[in-house]
Structure 1
Amino acid sequence: MSPFAEQVTVDARPSLWARWPAWAGWAAAGWSLAYGLLGVFWALGGAGFPFGADPYSVGVSPLENASAGSLAPVIAVVCLSGVVVAAAMARTWPRGRAGIPSVWFGWAMAVPLAVGVPDVRPLMGVARLPLLAVGAPFGWPKGVSVFGPGMFTWPVLNQLLLMLGGLCWAAATLAYQRRRRHNCAHCGRGRGAAFWTTPAAAARWGRWAVGAAVIMPLFYAVIRWSWFLGIPFGVTAEFLRVEAEDTPDIWLAGAMEGTLAFGGAVLTLGLVQRWGEVYPRWIPSLRGRPVRPRTAVIPAAVVTLLITTAGLGNLRALTGGVYPADVGENWGTIAPGLLWPLWAVGLGAATLAYHLRRRGRCRSCAA
């Protein structure tokens, strides 16, 4: 266990986030009520149905052919039923084996909402924000915007709303599942806790997860940097020339995205390095102070969620015929994206290992 883990946990003041098991079920119920009412509105002919009519969802969305007449009633029934289930979870009812269907329902809501329905555009929008923040004062990269075609339109904002709902349902189900097993709802420890969740075990398998999570973004970065330098790695020289003629700053933007990926790989290493627990001396005002676990866990978890949805979207694009069948020598245009699901698994596991290793003593159960 990290020497700073207990200090960080014990010294922290109680907060709304620290009490998440108490309100997660009600948050899932509230989200389900709001989205269920939207389903009723769309089923009655209301405007704004976000699925099916989005031209940028073709080949990448599992709901690209959905219509309000067929899907909206399902949304209404499932979400309004979810209000009852989530409220029951919040009150830890039912108990024992009778609660198994509620657990199944909860995860069946959480996973599709969080990573099944969204596609690659939430990640694209988030990744472009730092590029524009750096380049905007200099007027580059030209033609790159978070408000371009298909980016932060209502269908994409709806995807972010679905991801929020998925997180609420995941938290509600996890807390309920832990209480059913008579484990601590906050940390999961108790008589049914698994051995692999101990700090020593997490330190061992976490190193392998970090290795996998570092390789994937480095591969992406190498490809993007090579194109910026005019090296046709994974593509033809003709491809580089034509794309540069159509969009002059495209490879500069790609190199910046590659730099972000490289930075992400370096930060991922911090999940198993000492500087991921104690701020290094070159960081002013923070040097020598312990890194709060959530400072690393929250950003890493958000990135894991985004690259999971993007990776699954890329796989759907491959099977849906979005990518040309004769990609051939231009394999570098799609190969990195197809590896993103593996990147997500590695980063998610590395983040979980870091959390397990550094969580320290639980304020709720003192374990």
Structure 2
Amino acid sequence: MFRWLASWPAWSAYAAAGWSALYGALGLFWAWGGGGFPFAPVDDDRASGSVLEGSSAGSVAPAMAVIGLIGVVAALAMARPWGRSGARMALLAFGWALAGTLALVIQDYTLLALVAFAPFLLVFAFTGVPGPQEGIGDILYWHRVNLIIMFAGGVLWALATLAYQRRTRQACAHCGRGGQAIARWATPEATRRWGRWAVYVACAAPVPYEVTRIAWYFGIPLGISDDFLRMMRETPGMAEVGLGCALASIGGAILTQGLIRRWGEIYPRWIWFRAGRRVPPALAVIPASIVAIAAIPAGLMNLRMGVEAGAGRTWGMNAPGVLWIVWGAALGIAACAYGLRRRRPCRHRRPEARREVPA
């Protein structure tokens, strides 16, 4: 399984083509009046916060079908790889635009909530969901599941486009390195410097969210009205969920420090069963990247919802969440710096291509 995942440059373009074919066919089905259009207007308790939520199948589904068809052709061209000069730039622009749209623009807070509450959802699958919900289906309903599927398509398109971009510039599709010297910004000294600043920003950006949610739990109406605070305290579990999210965010900030600390590279003594051993870079890069990608669309959703700073004093609802855009971007940059600093010689490259001289 891990060997197959490691060979992503070989299969990602074909996977992106298959995903595009499937979603293009679904777009055609919905355009012809088929049921289950995932952005159709529904009751608020079954709606998502996607930018496409509430749209009509007649306007969106045909575009999905056309983009899916173009995606199949583009992905197969990337798999060859085909295209020079202008054609190459067109394929790269299409691939990155589609990946960003699927993984970031169309999404809402679902991915971030899924990351934060994944352990609880696993337990709820066996014990049932506490409160008025009747089951997992009341949390992961079709409008949300569709966003997860679209996010998966965005990841596939990002992998396919990245592999194509590297191959067409004669670099290793796995690590991105060629025979040229390492750029100054990618040296261990440089990545440690700008990676440190990225970590500081990533830790600071969620602080307003953490402060407001902790304040609400202790009955302080910071950024909200007294009526909303009263409603929150009268709703079982609502304040506790906010507190749990704040504490999880604080815990994440502590772990983020590992991207620039020694204990993020060598297991510390208090992890007795691994103490002194090297921390695999993927153990830090993959979780940090997932959280970074999930945070940005959640921040964009809060930005779309707007911030009301008037007499109602409701800025605490969305304003702190807008900073998740900064949080996600900074965390992604910090994870990139960590990965660049700790990467080893790539086993997929030719031996003569591994001789790198710092610029």
Report TM bin, short chain.
0.7 to 0.9
* Structure 2 counterparts to residues 123-272 of structure 1, below 5 A: 123-130=112-119, 142=131, 147=136, 151-190=139-178, 191=180, 194-237=183-226, 239-245=228-234, 247-272=235-260
Structure 1 residue matching 2:292: 3-state secondary structure:
helix
- Distance, in Å, in 1 between the alignment partners of 2:34 and 2:335 is 41
**Alignment partner of 1:20 is 2:8:** yes
C-alpha distance 267-144 of structure 1, shift in aligned 2 (>3 A): farther
- Higher relative CO (Cα under 8 Å, sequence separation at least 6) belongs to 1
Relative to structure 1, the CA distance from residue 358 to residue 22 in structure 2 (aligned partners, 3 Å threshold; closer, same or farther) is same
Shift of residue 200, structure 1, vs aligned partner: 2.2
Residue aligning to 1:10: none
TM-score (norm 1): 0.86
Verify: 1:93 aligned to 2:93, yes or no: no
Q: Distance in 2 between matches of 1:131 and 1:79?
A: 35
Instruction: Report the residue type matching 1:281 in the other structure.
Output: R
Q: 1: CA distance between counterparts of 2:212 and 2:127?
A: 25
Secondary structure at the counterpart of residue 16 of structure 1:
helix
Aligned partner of 1:70 in structure 2 is 59
Q: Is the 8 A contact 2:225 2:312 kept in 1?
A: no
Cα distance between partner residues in 1 of 2:125 and 2:209? 24
Aligned twin of 1:113: 102
For the pair 1:338 / 2:312, whether they are aligned, the reply is no
Q: Deviations over 1:314-363 (max 9, x none)?
A: 11111xxxx65746433222221111111111111111111111111111
* 1:124 to partner: Cα distance: 2.5
Q: 2:357: which partner in 1? A: none
1:301 positional shift: 1.0
- Identity value in percent: 48
**Structure 1 unaligned regions, length at least 5:** 1-12
Instruction: Judge conservation of contact 1:128–1:145 (CA < 8 Å) in 2.
Output: no
Change (3 A) 1:193 1:109: farther
**Match of 1:111, as an amino acid?**
G
Q: Which moved more, 1:61-70 or 1:286-295?
A: 61-70
CA contact (8 A) 2:17 2:71 kept: yes
In the superposition, the TM-score normalised over structure 2's length comes to 0.87
Contact 1:305 1:344 in 2 (8 A): yes
d(CA) in 2 for partners of 1:177 and 1:38? Answer: 29
Report how far residue 286 of structure 1 moved.
1.9
C-alpha contact (below 8 Å) 2:199/2:259 kept by paired residues: yes
Distance 1:298 1:38 in 2: 31
Measured at CA, do residues 199 and 234 of structure 1 come closer, stay the same or move farther in structure 2, by a change above 3 Å? same
Look up the SS of the partner of 2:167 in the other structure: helix
Structure 1 residues 127 and 54: alpha-carbon distance in aligned structure 2, compared to 1, 3 A threshold: farther
Q: What runs of 5+ residues in structure 2 fail to find an aligned partner?
A: 355-359
C-alpha RMSD over aligned residues: 2.9
Shift of 1:97: 4.2
Q: 8 Å contact 1:175–1:186 — kept in the other structure?
A: yes
- CA deviation profile, 1:224-280 (whole Å, cap 9, x unmatched): 2222222333345554333212x0332222111111111111111111111111122
Q: Contact (CA 8 Å) 1:132, 1:141: kept in 2 or not?
A: no
Say yes or no: does 1:349 pair with 2:333. Answer: yes
| Distance of aligned partners of 1:236 and 1:105 in 2 relative to their CA distance in 1, 3 Å threshold | closer
- 1:201 and 1:55 mapped to 2: Cα distance? 51
- Could you tell me how far apart the structure 1 residues matched to 2:28 and 2:227 are? 52
Find 1:358's aligned residue among 337, 342, 348: 342
5 Å matches for 1:307-326? 307-318=295-306, 326=310
1:160 Cα deviation after fit: 0.6
Moved more, 76-85 or 118-127: 118-127
User: CA 1:140–1:100 in structure 2 vs 1: closer, same or farther (change >3 Å)?
Assistant: closer
Amino acid at match of 1:307: A
Counterpart Cα distance in 2 of 1:290 and 1:17: 22
Deviates more, 1:338-347 or 1:182-191: 182-191
CA distance in 2, matches of 1:40, 1:140: 36
Give the residue type in structure 2 aligned to 1:104.
A
Alpha carbons of structure 1 residues 20 and 137: separation in structure 2 relative to 1, 3 Å: closer
The separation in 2 between residues aligned to 1:241 and 1:64, in whole angstroms, is: 30
